[in-house]
Amino acid sequence: MPVNILMPALSPTMEKGNLAKWLKKEGDAVKAGDVIAEIETDKATMEYESIDDGVLAKIVVPEGSQDVPVNQLIAVLAQEGEDPKTAASAASAAAAAGKGAAQAKAPAAPAAKLEQRPEPAARPAAVPASALSAHGATHGANRIFASPLARRLAKTAGIELSRIRGSGPHSRIIARDVEAARSGQGLAPAAAASFALPVPSDDKIRALFEPGSYDVVPHDNIRKVIARRLVEAKLTIPHFYLTLDCNIGKLLAAREEINAAAPKDKDGKPTYKLSVNDFVIKALALALQRVPDANATWTESGMLKHHRSDIGVAVSIPGGLITPVVRHAEAKSLSIISNEMKDFAARARARKLKPEEYQGGSSAVSNLGMYGIKDFAAVINPPHATILAVGAGEERAIVRDGKIEAAWIMSVTLSTDHRAVDGALGAQLLGAFKALIENPVTMVV
């Protein structure tokens, strides 16, 4: 049988992808491990490898195509002994007969012929702007995505579908979700389920402005996902904010001394150059170890207490941002963290990060100090329970022993998920961070 090549889901938030480039053309022989295409996800451009031998019989979706739905047929591979022309003809007939419908009914087994990165069992609930509903798979004000069996079970049990959290693809409600709801798990309060905020339509917004006084720039995938996740975070996470000032005089002196002593590579360049942000990442990682109750993630069934400090770091990229994760940051040296972040930033801007490099993590850092921002409050990036917003270090007047003197001060604001980290616990975490960042020598002992 020919192998149907489908658009893969290469990240938890991916619903559509752009087929950036075909690296093989029709009639080319393909071996297992060959990269056959480059696909743009909502976060990065990724290579798509074949794990089977054959001939690329038919390219169904041409390169350059945008917003191709996940699981849509994009090409057909003829296996050994098969006639590529016959396989191509079959693919053309199927596409002409039903396009998306025919592709949706493609057998599941052939789809597994190409390597795809595993997806989590349940995706984060998406919150479309049209409904702003945090529960179920609501696409539009009154439509909820659920399987027929789930609808029958919910009706029999007398449970409103809008109160059930879906765990199927794209948060679709399936039978097991209804069974869980019957036992009281994954069931939203009725008041929360009925909450909906009216959103003006595009036409109503545009009517407020004179025609011809603006340009319409279509949203790309990454901007759509960022917008959706920000709405989700602010609607479903009770944010709580704590701010304090840190004296970074010792840190700046230590940074200058460490950088001056950095060994040189064969080209005479320093093997590392520490930034203030590298110290921030390390200090937050160690603070989470000192206050382990804050190193947590909220779930409806229980609190996840993390053993490691995996710190996400917000990196600005064209059209949005991405948060690569420094794993085991508490155990890494400052020089390793520094070089790892430089690599992450370069590959993030080239959209070459792998999903496992920006998914997960137990907390995050967002630093706008390089733009001169004094202080700000960052939006929590699920599944994190905390995020540290870092402002610019600047020379300010302080009072010490009754005298006014100058000191280098940096303001930081901790945003917490109040369900997981309450005020007192957040204050302990921020206090531990302040103690470390103001005495950087304690980070290396």
Give the residue numbers annotated as catalytic, written as ranges: 418
Distances (CA, A) of 189 to 158, 159, 348: 14, 11, 39
Q: What is the token pair recorded at 69?
A: 């739905």
Nearest to 367 by CA among 274, 234, 275, 436: 275
The DSSP call for residue 180 is: H
Distances (CA, A) of 290 to 160, 261, 278, 310, 443: 44, 30, 19, 14, 12
CA–CA distance, 402 with 404 (Å, rounded to integer):
7
The DSSP call for residue 81 is: T
Helices (H), 18-147: 84-98, 100-104, 108-111
CA–centroid distance for 302 within its chain: 22
Nearest to 344 by CA among 322, 328, 359: 322
CA–CA distance, 202 with 179 (Å, rounded to integer):
39
CA–CA distance, 124 with 14 (Å, rounded to integer):
11
E strands, 110-261, where? 239-247
